[in-house]
Amino acid sequence: MVAMDAALNFLGGLTLLGNYYVFHVLGIDATGLALLSSVSSVVGLLSTIPAGYLVDLRGRGPSLQLGIHLGTASLLLFVAAPPRSAYTLPLLLLSGVAGAIGGSLYGLAHQALRADVFPLESRGRAYALLGLPPAAAWSAGAALGGWLYAVLGPSAPFVASLILRLVLTPLLVFLSRRLSRGIDAVINGALHAPAGASPRGSR
């Protein structure tokens, strides 16, 4: 779980200058930036309840995996957006929608899985320790992203993040499946158990 979180945070840190890039390079003005932010926020809000239902109904793994794939699709659409074109804003809107839905799925499944894995009495300490490597990874990614932006060009950190994400996606999906396998077996067992029955290992 720590490795998966650190990898995703590093990739996210690389794209720190996203809004700066959208404004100065892609040519989206302040109104367009506000629209992108509003649409992403509303979609994220509206997708929260369905995402939570899916996390409980289908298990943590499928939601984590779908969230990872949607995050990759979001970044791909972002990188594909041409500067100052009729397609720029629509592609960025699609990127924001995919990212918002993916974020809801991944975030809720991740929170649920952490609560499933760690006992109540040590959860606070475990969460604190688990948060350190991802925070460090994000800082490293942000520093590298800023350097790439300044030295290799504005699109460099986003292209680098996309390439790394495409390479790492199979590994991230594998890790999410492995981490959630036991919990999802309990969830699916409970869903398919006869009424009144309690699947072995359920809590």
pLDDT at 190: 55
pLDDT computed for residue 19 by the predictor: 95
Chain CA centroid to CA 5, Å: 9
| Distance in angstroms (rounded) separating the CA atoms of residues 21 and 51 | 30
How far is Cα 146 from Cα 82, in angstroms, rounded to an integer? 21
CA–CA distances in Å: residue 59 to residues 8, 173, 177, 198: 21, 14, 10, 17
Q: Are 144 and 157 in contact (CB under 8 A)?
A: yes
Summary mean pLDDT of the chain = 90
Its pTM stands at 0.87
Which structural domains are found in the chain, ordered by start?
A: 2-192 (1.20.1250.20)
pLDDT tens-digit profile of 48-107?
Answer: 999 999 998 888 999 999 999 999 999 999 999 999 999 999 999 999 999 999 999 999
User: Per residue in 139-159, pLDDT tens?
Assistant: 999 999 999 999 999 999 999
From residue 151, alpha-carbon distances to 24, 70, 72, 125 in Å are 16, 29, 25, 40
**Whole-number pLDDT of residue 128:** 84
